Structure 1
Amino acid sequence: MDQIGWVIFLVALLFSVMLHESGHFVAAKRFGMKATKYFIGFGPTLWSTTRGETEYGIKALPVGGYVKIIGMTSLDEVDPEDESRSFRQAPAWQRLIVLAAGSFMHFVLAAVIIFGLAIGIGIENDNTTQLGTVAACVPQSATALNDGAACTASDPKSPALLAGLKVGDQVTSFNGVPVSSWTQLENVIKDAKPGSVATITVERDGRPVTLHAKLADVSGHGGYLGIAATTVFQPTSPLGAIRYTGSGFAQVITGSGSALAQLPKAIPSLFAKDRSQTAAGNVSSVVGAARETGQAVAANVGWQYKVSFVLLLIASLNIFVGILNLLPLLPMDGGHVAVVLWEVIRRWLARLRGRADPGLVDYRKLIPVSFSIFLVIVFFGVMLILADIVNPVNIG
């Protein structure tokens, strides 16, 4: 099952790459630009075919893809008869659309995934009183409780286990107080004194059952019963799905910004034993994402959780890649967008001063900057991949 998860992730990754390049390709063709190549991957060509003026194919290394549009920069050589169809001769607004189309496709794919997930499977909700876990023992401390420490032979059995509570029970009241959410249930448990006997009413197989449990005392935590909520998936309306999609985008954008900001600080801790407890635990490569997909598919949980986790991971990855591509750094799409915008600004300033159009930006001056940024990106990418291979962060 773990290997199936890896395959699912790789297929989804290649599909995302195809959509990205299709965005550039379709937009360029729509504006009459000449696209001579459409390839998935890099390196030696495994297969290709030519249709019309475009060669389509697959390369040996499935780590990206590219579309070759003639005349992308002032350095490209173009046949005189094709110059009118080159990228550089198109109006600025058309060039901006072509450049942004790749990231746009990532955002569309992510929105479709999240919206479809909310409508089809439902939104994950763990604020329910249905029991998903009944602990076997009483943890020795609040730290052991928070860390999910395993039970030892000397640990006493949990009050929930002794009381006869079972996974799937729906708690309806605690000490006579009706509860309809996990938040309410947690609050009334906290209000109960350790050592006191609590009366718990649950719905089991459609019938009410009343049980009694003597709450344990966990140092640093207080009264302890030994239960945890299950996760349920509740399908929502189209309007609710739209709101869920918007909140999902907002969370990923915020998280992406935080992860990028922490990346320089995370590098020294990538190979530390306590990586998960440092900033390095919040950053990952495609290898880490593939491993998480494999773990989720192989986990002993319901199919809804597996599908939800994998789809949200793929959607989050697409949003992150879309944002990363729009950063104003060469050689990424956002860097070329910045160049086009600078050409527009220069042209506007020249017109105000009554001067001639300065024309295209000389990319020869940008090569050192572009190459330096490329090396930095490769460095961070290689470090993350190595860390995810030899010192992975497991999702549990």
Structure 2
Amino acid sequence: MLVWILGIILFALGICISVALHEAGHMWAAKAFGMRVRRYFVGFGPTLWSFRRGETEYGLKGIPFGGFCDIAGMTAMDEVTPEEAPRAMWRFATWKRFVVMVSGSITHFIVGFVILYLMAVTMGLPNTEVNTVAEPPRVATVNDCVVDKGSSSADGCAAGAPAPAKDAGLRPGDLVVSVAGTPTPTWGDMVKKVEGLSGPTDFEVRRGDQTLNLTVDVAQVTAANGGKAGAIGVTVQLPPAMIAYSPLDGFGGAISYTGDMFVGVWNGLLAFPEKIPKVIEAIGGGERDPETPVSVVGASIIGGDAVERGIWELFLIVLATLNFFIGVFNLLPLLPLDGGHIAVLFYEKIRDWLRKLRGKPAGGPVDYNRLSAVTMVFVLIGGAVVVLTVTADIVNPIRLPQ
């Protein structure tokens, strides 16, 4: 239990650091362009400690979740002092404001990439190209018997249970070339062929430099659909689940895996709305679908489970995934997200370009007050989703199998 709690704390701390770095990304970019940064704080609530360096106050708040960066004049609606006015953010070039806005998400992407790179050169990255069906039909283990679908020979074999592969002399490392005269280039081809057979069958097997012809008495077991299917009692030899890289190759491996994660995160965002009903069902006591969205609470619980079981690879993968998710989500063109502010920047730029083509002067800054209703709708929807996911993660969390 103590290890599990420690895992939750470590994961929550990792998230807090990531969010604090997000705000630091905004601050570093703003300072680089000469904008006035008033405050940078980690956490929310009452101030525990702070100091001032130059024109910026840095500090720590009482609730150590997230943080904020206060840049003077982020919009033309914000109040600024006469001293701050010349360096108000909204007065700067569009591309500079864009860089400041996008820097938070870029920081998340950098954090996620660094996690993956460190994994690549230490414990390795998950092998995403493992496809059991497409693997060569090379035997990994020869079971003591065959069992019905959904059971395992590791649970024990009944007296007299058939052991076709073992009795025929198949060994780990053997490559099944053909079954009953039909070539079997993949494990899926072999399984498909065997499932339709029964009784003594010719197997052509390559063992090292030798080619052997074995007779396997294919047994019949209960299949997943309740019918009967042939089985011989072997498992496929798979490539390693994790791939380790050298410090130089690790960059390529991390870049490739980062691309895979971005695809997964984007697909998850697209499927997000349709999974909300399943979250509601889980709150009501239904079985929690492991594919449903999780909150920071749920992700921390998964992190705790991973640490308790010693699966640090999963802990780090979930942390990297969450960084990529937050980075992508924050770029959605919806206020008050950074992506919403970026969308306003592009709108102003395109609008002024069109006005210039028509011989008109540039328009003024967008009045954010007119967007307040849309912003409030999104805040309410987002808040409702947060409440639902947090509730589900408390009453019916996703847990790793024992």
Task: Say yes or no: TM over 0.5.
Answer: yes
Q: What pairs up with 1:1-396 in 2 under 5 angstroms?
A: 1-120=3-122, 121-124=124-127, 131=140, 138-139=147-148, 141=149, 144=150, 159=163, 170-174=172-176, 184-185=186-187, 187-192=189-194, 193-194=197-198, 215=219, 217-219=221-223, 220=225, 222-224=229-231, 225=233, 227=235, 231-236=240-245, 237-238=249-250, 240-241=252-253, 244-277=256-289, 281-299=291-309, 306-396=311-401
Contact 1:158 1:226 in 2 (8 A): no
1:50, CA displacement in angstroms? 1.9
Deviations 1:250-302 (A, max 9, x none): 4323333333242454454342544445xx84211112211212222223xxx
Identical amino acids, percent of aligned pairs: 31
Instruction: Answer whether contact 2:332 2:340 (CA < 8 A) is retained.
Output: yes
SS at match of 1:8: helix
TM-score w.r.t. the length of structure 2 is 0.77
TM-score when normalising by structure 1: 0.78
Deviations 1:350-377 (A, max 9, x none): 3333334322111221222212211111
Unaligned runs of 5+ in 1: 204-209
Cα distance 1:282–1:214, how it changes in 2: closer, same or farther (>3 A)? same
| RMSD (Å), alpha carbons | 3.9
- Residue 70 of structure 1 and its aligned partner are, at CA, apart by 0.6
- The offset of 1:392, in angstroms, is 1.8
Over residues 322-358 of structure 1, what are the superposed CA-to-partner deviations in whole Å (9 max), with x where a residue is unaligned?
Answer: 1110111111101111111222223223333333432
The answer (yes or no) to whether the contact 1:174–1:198 under 8 Å persists in 2 is no
| CA distance 1:42–1:218, shift in 2 (3 Å) | same
Letter in 2 for 1:12: G
Q: Distance in 2 between matches of 1:361 and 1:79?
A: 21
| Consecutive unaligned residues in structure 2, runs of 5 or more | 208-213
Deviation at 1:35, TM superposition (A): 0.7
Decide whether the 8 Å contact of 2:47 with 2:62 is kept in 1: yes
The structural deviation recorded for 1:131 is 4.8
> Counterparts of 2:56 and 2:199 in 1: how far apart (Å)?
76
CA distance in 2, matches of 1:190, 1:331: 54
**Structure 1 CA distance for aligned equivalents of residues 343 and 270 of structure 2:** 23
Task: Describe the SS at the equivalent of 2:40.
Answer: strand
Is the alpha carbon distance of 1:153 and 1:222 closer, same or farther for their aligned partners in structure 2, counting shifts above 3 Å?
closer
